[in-house]
Amino acid sequence: MRGQYFSSEKLESLADNLLTRYERETEAVLEPPVSAESVAENLELNILWDEIPEEPGTTTHGALVPEKRLIVLNEGRLSLFEDSPELYNTTIAHEIGHWVLHVDHAALDHASLPDLAFDSAPVPESGLDKRDERNANEFMGYLLMPARLFLPRLQGLNLQNWHHLYHLRETFNVSSTALQIRLEKLNLTYLDDKRRFHKSEQEARGQTSLF
């Protein structure tokens, strides 16, 4: 539900369960890149291009309309999707995250609930909406880069080398931001605000281990 706390372990478990269900019901053998569109279709979520109103100074890639089982991609930002093809996959996966984490599915069988819309606008500065957006983003990473596919493909890569990171991004068809978050959650690399690499966020902040 909205505003609910989810641990990273719970988010990863929910994403893994969804992928296992997808494999079982479609008899697919999961390989990268994971198609968020195919997962959405298996959930009977439709995908539509349409104009999405935006608050001044913001960019919205997509929205979820739960009562219509609909993911809307912002036609007004079509050029962004064309310039960054991976944005299509990550936006759909983000909205699937909202569907799994924040929608009361039982309520959808009753009256239309127009206030149940979720969009992929930038993460708010504070409040429960911020938690929901961060949860959906983290869920998206686990869905598109599940450990059983992701970890083996890190072998032999220099995770502080842009060429290797770009290769990894293309392999999983995800945005650079999504990849960065996934690697940070694994404590494998950290990128600071100046785009400099560190082994961890603690190292970036000047903290050293006692051991």
User: In this structure, what token pair is assigned to residue 143?
Assistant: 């869905």
SS3 letters for the chain?
Answer: CCCCCCCHHHHHHHHHHHHHHHHHHHCCCCCCCCCHHHHHHHCCCEEEEECCCCCCCCCCCEEEEHHHCEEEEEHHHHHHHHHCCHHHHHHHHHHHHHHHHHCCHHHHHCCCCCCCCEECCCCCCCCHHHHHHHHHHHHHHHHHCCHHHHHHHHCCCCCCCHHHHHHHHHHHCCCHHHHHHHHHHCCCCEECCCCCEECCHHHHCCCCCCC
pLDDT digits (tens, 9 = 90+) for 35-68: 999 999 999 999 999 999 888 888 999 999 998 9
pLDDT for 69 beyond 50: yes
pLDDT digits (tens, 9 = 90+) for 127-161: 557 889 999 999 999 999 999 999 999 999 999 99
pLDDT value of position 107: 77
Any idea where the domains of the chain sit in the sequence? 8-145
- Name 74's bridge partners: 50
pLDDT for 195 beyond 50: yes
Looking at the chain, the whole-number percentage of residues with pLDDT higher than 90 is 67
